Amino acid sequence: MLEIDELTVAYGWPGRPLVPAVRDVNLTVDAGEVVGIAGESGCGKTTLALAATGLLDPPGRVLSGSVRYQGTDLVSLSPEERRALRLSEISMVFQASMNVLNPVMRIRDQFLDGMAAHGVRSSEEARARAEETFDLVKIPRRYFDAYPHQLSGGMRQRAVIALALVLRPKLLFLDEPTTALDVVVQRSILQSLNDLRHELGFGVVFITHDLSLLVEIADRIAIMYAGAVVEEAAARDLYKKPCHPYTRSLMSAFPPIGGARQRLESISGQPPDMRHLPAGCSFAPRCPEVIAGTCERLDPPSIRVDGGQVVVCHLYSEKEARIG
Amino acid sequence: MSPRALLANRRAAVGASILGFFALVALLAPLIAPYSPSDTNSTPMLPMSAKHLLGTTTNGQDIFSQLVWGTRTSLSVGLLTGTMICLVQLVMGVFSGYVGGKADTTLSSVTNVFLVLPTLPLLIVLAAYLQGGSLLVLVGVITITGWAWGARVLRAQAIALRDRPFVEAARISGESRWHIVLAHIVPNMLGIMVANFFGAALFAVLAEAGLEFIGLGDINSVTWGTMLYWAQNSEAMLQGMWVWLLAPGLCILLLGTSLGLLNFAVDEIANPNLRRD
Amino acid sequence: MASALEPVVGTEEIAEAPVLEVRGLTKHYSVGRLGRQKTVHALSDIDLSVEKGEVLGLVGESGSGKTTFIRTVLQLDRPTAGEIRVQGGEALPKRPSSRRLREHRRQVQMIFQDPYSSLDSLHTVRYSVTRPLRAFGIVPRRAEREAVEELFTQVGLVPAGAFLDRHPYQLSGGQRQRVGVARALAARPALILADEPTSMLDVSIRLSIMNLLLDLQRSKALSLVFVTHDLAGAYYMSDRIAIMYAGHLLEVGPSSEVMGEPRHPYTQLLRRAAPDPEGHFDRDTQFEAQGDPPDLTSLPAGCPFAPRCPFVRDECQTALPEWREIGARHRVRCVLYGPASDGHPGTAPA
C-alpha cells in the first residue's frame, strides 16, 4: 500500500550547507499492517513521517526517492492534491498532539472544520460520523461539545486519534502518541487502537523511541539511526535476535520487567551531529563491535538475514552468516 | 545580557551615548567650565557670547559654567537615588518575594501602602517638612516615594524564579537565603533589575528637578533644577533670558530621555518578545 | 555480558536503624480562590522506611504523590502531618531551624528530574558542585577544587579538569545529569532521593545513568530512593519496590515478589499495562481498565482504588484497609488479604 523508496530528505537554510535528516530509506507498509519505527530523538523518524504524509514544510525538502501510495508518488503531487489525500486516505497524529487541539474551539467545531475541508458539507452527517468515531475510540459522546481543557490528557489524545480517523483513512501515522501519558492510559489507548484496526482495517506506522512497546504492538519494526534504517525485521524476530549492535543497545535501554535481575551494559557517546556525519557507518564511533579499518571507511551493506530480517552492518555477509 | 547586545540595540546606543556624554561633562567639569558657578563677578543678564557661551544670570553668574557644574550634581544625585531605590527594592521586592510566608506578607503590605500613597503630593509634603533641604535629604525623600512600584514588579519576578528547580537545588545544597537571592535570583533577573534601575534613576532625576524647581531643594546648590528655580524667580522669560530656562530644561529632558531609552532597551534585550528591530 | 545483581540487604532482620523512617506522612494543600477553594490530598498517611545500603523503587503514575513524597522529606514543602527520621535520630520538628535543616540535608540529598533546569546556567558546573561542599563544611576551602575533580571523576565526567569551568549549556543532557549526581554526592549523604532521574534523557543514555547510580550506591553503601513511573526501570534498579496511588502507599515488598506476583489489584493493573516483550506476545488479549484516574480533591472514603478495582467489596469503600503482612518485608493494603493471610488472596486470581 505504501512504498517508500530510497527517500532522502534534508533541511536547508539559506547560506548554509544542507543538513541530512533522512538518508536512502526504504520501507513498505502493507494493508492492515502495523509497522513500527524506533529510534532516538534526532534519528529522522519524525521527518520521515512528515515527508511521507506530505506535511514537510520548508526548510525541509525531499532530495530524492519516492513515496508511493497505492501506486501514486506523493512527492510529485501538488500541495492541493496532497491535502486532498490527507485525512481521507493518509492521516497523521503528531507528537504531544493533545496540545494541538485549539483551546478556544469546541471539539466538535474542530471536527466539523476538518470534515468540511474534505467535502462533508452537511453538518448532521458530519456530526453523526464524528460521534460514531467517538464511540469507536471510546470517548463518551458528551465530550463532543466540550472544550479541550475539559478533557484529561488521555481523553484529548483519543480525541485527536478520532479526528485522524473520522474520514476512515487507510493509513495512519502516529508519532509518539502515548509518550506523555501514564502507562495505564497508554495501554488503554493502544488497546482501542488495535480494536479499531480490526474493525476498520487501516494500516499503521507507529513511531516511537519505546522499543519495548513496539515489540508488543507492531508486525514489523525498522530501527533508525542518524537518518538511516539500520535494521528491519518482524517484531518477534527482532526481539529474539537483534542483529545490529545499535538495536541491541536500544533494547538494553528497556530492561526486562521480570526474571533474574541482571546488569546490562550501556554504550557511551551520543548520536552524531547530522551536519558532520562520519564516513562509513554512522554508528562506528560508538559501536562495541566495530571492525577497525572497515566500518569507518566503507558504507555498510544491506544484508538479508534468514527469515526476512534486513540488517545494514559490516558484521554480516551475504552468506547469511556472521563474520568478524 | 552582554554589553555587546546593549550596544547593538539602537535605543541603547542612543541612550548610552547621551548618558556617556553627560558623565564625561560631569567628570571634566573643572576643565570645561570657564568660571566658577557661584562667581558673581560677571556683568548680569548678558546674552550669549564668546566669553559667556550661554550668557549670564541676573546675579552675574555664567550660565554655561552653572550648567556644566550642575551636570555633576544632577547626574550624581539622580544615579545615587536610583541606586538607593534599587537597594530598597532588593529587600522589599526580591528578598520578600523569594522568602514568601509571613515575612513576605508583611513586607508586601507595606509596599502596597506606599503604592497607594500619591507620589507627587507625598514628595512635596516630605520635602517641605524636612526643611533645610540638603541634597541628601532630597535623596532620602525621593527614595521613600519612589521604590514601591518597581518593588512590586521585582517581587513578582522573584516569586516566579523561586519555584525553578535550580533554586530548589540551591536550597537543598544548604545555601543561605541571602546567598540564593544574590547568587541565583538576582543574576537570573538581571535584565529586569537593570531596566528597573534606569527607570528608578529617571524618576529620581525628574523628581529632583521638580522639587528643586519649586524651591524645595537646596537653593544654594548648583543643579539644573535650582537653575530653573532661580530663572523662574528672576522672571527670566519676562526679561527675554530664555536661554537661562531652556538650557537646564533641555538638559533635564535629554538626561531623562537617555535613561528612558536605556530602560526600554534593556527591557527589550532581556525579553526577546518585545524586540521590534 | 551480564552478571547477576544480588541484593545487598538480605530479607532477615536488620540491626542498624533505617536510614530513613517516615511515619504518617501527610500533605494537603489548598488550591483555588477564596470561596472556591479545594483541598488537594497529595499524600496520605505514608509509612515507609529505607534501610542502609538499599535501593527502594517508588513507583506511581502522575498524581500518585511520589514527587510530593520527596519534597516533603527534604522539606522543600512542609508536611501537613507525620514524622521524618533520618539514621535513627530525632524526628524533624514542625518548623525546623535553618541549622536543623542544613543538618538534615547533609544526610539526605536529591537528584532532580530535569537536567536542563536544575543547574543554574549562569554559573559553572564547578560552582554548583562546590556550594554544597562549602555549605556543609565537607572539605576546607583549599581542598575544594580537588574534591570537585574527584566527584566529577566518580560520576564519569573525565577528564575532570576539562569539565570544571564549563557552563551547563555546554554539556549534553546526560552530562548535566551526572553533574546533578555529583552535586548530590558532594554532601556525602546517607540517602539520595532521585526524582525520575532518567525520564528526560535520551533513551540510550538512561541505562548509563542508572548503572552509574547503582555503582555509586554499591561502592559508597548509599541508600537510594528511585522515584519513577517506569516499572522496568524500577525493577532494574531496586531491591524493594513501593507502589503509590493517589497519595497512598498500596504495596511494598521485594522487587521480585512485587513484580513477579503482584498482590494489590492496582499493582496487577500496572504490571499488565506496562510494556513487557517477554511476557505478553498476544496483542489481542483484552486489557480492561475501567474508571478515571483519581481526583485528589475528592478522594472517596476508604481505599482510593476502590472505584476502579475489579475485586471491590463493600468494606473497601467505608474505610481504608489495614496493612497486611504477607511475607518477609512484604505488605499490602488490601482487604483481599485477610489478617492471617498466607500471601494469597481468597477469591482473587494471582
C298 and A CB contact within 8 Å: no
* Residue A161 contacts C, CB cutoff 8 Å: no
State residue A271's pLDDT score.
Answer: 80
| The pLDDT of residue C13 is above 60 | no
Give pLDDT tens digits for A45-103.
888 888 888 788 878 888 888 888 887 888 777 777 777 777 678 888 887 766 677 88
C36 contacts: CB under 8 Å, gap ≥ 6: none
Asked if residue C343 has pLDDT above 60, the reply is no
- When CB atoms are compared, the residue of A182, A252, A254 closest to C62 is A182
pLDDT at A59: 83
* Chain segment C245-274, per-residue pLDDT in tens: 999 999 999 999 999 889 999 999 998 888
Work out the minimum CA distance from B82 to partner chain C, whole angstroms: 26
Kindly tell me if the per-residue pLDDT of C231 is higher than 80: yes
Report yes or no: C260 at the A interface, CB cutoff 8 Å. yes
C311 pLDDT higher than 70: yes
Q: How many helices and strands, by DSSP H and E, does chain B display?
A: 15, 0
A-to-C residue pairs, Cβ atoms closer than 8 angstroms: 133
The predicted pLDDT at position C302 comes to: 87
- The CB-side HSE value for B11 (13 A sphere, CA atoms) comes to 17
What's chain C's average pLDDT? Answer: 86
- Cβ contacts of B165 on chain C, cutoff 8 Å: 112-114, 117-118
Question: Does the pLDDT of residue A170 top 90, yes or no?
Answer: no
Cα gap C197→C177, rounded to integer Å: 8
Q: Mean pLDDT check: name the lowest of A123-132, B220-229, C200-209, C327-336.
A: A123-132
Give φ, ψ of C3 to 5 degrees.
Answer: -130, 150
Q: What is the chain B residue with the closest CA to C186?
A: B173
pLDDT of residue C347: 38
Q: How far is CA B228 from the centre of its chain?
A: 18
The ipTM assigned to this model is 0.86
Q: Per-residue pLDDT tens for A124-166?
A: 877 888 888 888 787 888 888 888 888 877 888 888 888 888 8
Nearest to B165 among C109, C114, C135 (CB): C114
Selected residue with higher pLDDT from B261 and A167? B261
B205, B252 contact by CB (below 8 A): yes
Nearest CB partner across the interface for C131, out of B164, B168, B175: B175
Q: What value does the mean pLDDT take over residues B118-143? A: 84
Q: Is the pLDDT of residue C280 over 80?
A: no
Judged by a CB distance cut-off of 8 A, whether residue C308 touches chain A is no
In this prediction, residue B11 carries a pLDDT of 84
- Provide the chain A residues 208-237 that lie in CB contact (below 8 A) with chain C: 209-213, 215-217, 236
Is 70 exceeded by the pLDDT of residue A205?
yes
User: Average pLDDT for residues B163-177, to the nearest whole number?
Assistant: 93
Share of chain C above pLDDT 70, in %: 89
> What's the 3-state SS for chain A?
CEEEEEEEEEECCCCCCCEEEEEEEEEEECCCCEEEEECCCCCCHHHHHHHHCCCCCCCEEEEEEEEEECCEEHHHCCHHHHHHHECCCEEEECCCHHHCCCCCCCHHHHHHHHHHCCCCCCHHHHHHHHHHHHHHHCCCHHHHHCCHHHCCHHHHHHHHHHHHHCCCCCEEEEECCCCCCCHHHHHHHHHHHHHHHHHHCCEEEEEECCHHHHHHHCCEEEEEECCEEEEEEEHHHHHHCCCCHHHHHHHHCCCCCCCCCECCCCCCCCCCCHHHCCCCCCCHHHCCCCCCCCCCCCCCCEEEECCCEEEECCCECCCCCECC
Phi, psi of B245 (to 5 degrees): -85, -40
Backbone angles phi, psi at B235, to 5 degrees: 50, 50
Calpha distance C252→C264 (Å, rounded): 10
**Distance (Å, rounded) from C-alpha B228 to C-alpha B250?**
11
Mark yes or no for CB contact B184/C120 under 8 Å: yes
DSSP H helices in C220-319: 231-237, 255-260, 265-273
Q: C203 and A209 in contact by Cβ < 8 A?
A: yes
All three cell numbers of C154, joined, read 566518580
CA distance A81 to C300: 54
Which pLDDT belongs to residue B56?
Answer: 81
pLDDT tens digit sequence for B243-252: 888 889 999 9
Q: Which residues of B touch C102 (CB under 8 A)?
A: 174
| Residue among C233, C275, C281 whose CB faces A213 most closely | C275
| Beta-carbon count within 10 A of A257 CB | 23
Transcribe C251-273 into DSSP letters. EEEEHHHHHHS--SHHHHHHHHH
pLDDT at A199 exceeding the cut of 90: no
**Residue C174 or residue B43, greater confidence:** C174
Residue entry with cell 533494547: A251
Query: For residues A101, A123, A132 and A188, what is the CA-based torsion angle, rounded to 10 degrees?
Result: 0
Beta carbon pairs, B and C, within 8 Å? 56
Confidence category of residue A121, pLDDT binned at 50, 70, 90: low
Residue C73 pLDDT greater than 50, yes or no: yes
Q: Is the pLDDT of residue C3 over 60?
A: no
Q: Please check the confidence at residue C349 and state whether its pLDDT lies above 70.
A: no
Rounded mean pLDDT of C3-14?
A: 47
8 A C-beta contact, residue A232 and residue A219: no
User: Can you name the residues that pair with A79 across neighbouring β-strands?
Assistant: none
Angstrom distance (rounded) from CA B68 to CA B31? 10
Q: Quick one: average pLDDT of C301-321?
A: 87
